[in-house]
Amino acid sequence: MQRESIELTNMCMVCNGSQVLVQDRKDPRWPGITFPGGHVEPGESLADAVIREVREETGLIISDPRLCGLKDWCTDQGRYVVLFYRAERFSGSLQSSEEGEVWWEELDKLSSLNLARDMGDMLRVFLEEDISEFFYRPMGEEWINELR
Amino acid sequence: MQRESIELTNMCMVCNGSQVLVQDRKDPRWPGITFPGGHVEPGESLADAVIREVREETGLIISDPRLCGLKDWCTDQGRYVVLFYRAERFSGSLQSSEEGEVWWEELDKLSSLNLARDMGDMLRVFLEEDISEFFYRPMGEEWINELR
């Protein structure tokens, strides 16, 4: 049995026609425009976790989260995993949270916004069917963004 | 920071036209016909892990593993996660391992074989685009197979 200490999180691209739901994240460790998401709770199903996080941060209740890839990296403390989802069906009214303002934005305008660090590469995992993983690969003192 | 103790594994459906690569797993804890796969090593990228496991158990070197869903459940010891991949491009020669005999099988004949427990529900996650997760949900003393 091989176990790892893993910090398990999610992020969801909620789509409404040509628009996607963005969040201007206030967290100073990773500020900028990204998609809503957060931590998976112990014992929680991964689908329940992304539905809960989107509801808490946007007011919307998504009904069809689909896994479309993930991002991960490893440190001395263990692995960090962000599960990426897409959702197109939702109910409820848009409501920002303390995590950051949320609004609908044209998908093709995203690249002109103040995106969070590496959000451009993350977008490729959300959008390109043949990319499943964004891995930070250690190379000496650096980290390489590897898309697979 | 919320960390979980997670046993991180993978399973891959390698496709060749109408056929898929199956393995008759010898492990007495979970015997029967399934797809090749195994454990992710600490520090290893998830794509590297599934490529390595398929190579070790089948002799084939897949080049395009795509994440198509996952299976997970939680116990007192933590979470168990199986990442599900599909691959259609490969090189090398088929070679069974100590884990079990491997061979090509018509996908539409799978259900008539001696499948491993719950492999039927797992197949749905591999094959149906709108299913991303197979979660064992605890219900009293029982576990319910939940497909989402």
Residue reference for tokens 């390109």:
A128
Assigned token pair, A31: 């500020």
- The third-level CATH classification (topology) of the domain covering A6-147 is Nucleoside Triphosphate Pyrophosphohydrolase (3.90.79)
Asked if A4 lies within 8 A of B5 by C-beta distance, the reply is: yes
B137 vs A contacts (CB less than 8 Å): 45
Is the separation of the CB atoms in A40 and A9 below 8 Å? yes
Q: Are A5 and B43 in contact (CB under 8 A)?
A: no
Is-above-0.90 flag for pTM?
A: yes
* Cβ neighbours of A5 in B, within 8 Å: 3-6
Answer whether A63's CB lies under 8 Å from A48's CB.
Answer: no
Q: What is the ipTM of this complex?
A: 0.96
pLDDT, tens digit, 9 for 90 and up, residues B78-118: 999 999 999 999 999 999 999 999 999 999 999 999 999 99
Query: pLDDT for A96-108, tens place per residue?
Result: 999 999 999 999 9
H/E run at residue B91: strand B90-91
Each residue of B95-104: pLDDT tens digit?
999 999 999 9
Closest CA–CA distance from residue A56 to any residue of chain B (Å): 18
> How would you write chain A as a 3-class SS string?
CCCEEEEEEEEEEEEECCEEEEEEECCCCCCEEECCEEECCCCCCHHHHHHHHHHHHHCCEECCCEEEEEEEEEECCEEEEEEEEEECCEECCCCCECCEEEEEEEHHHHHHCCECCCHHHHHHHHHCCCCCEEEEEEECCEEEEEEC
CA–CA separation, A1 and B40 (whole Å): 11
| Domain locations in chain A as residue ranges | 6-147
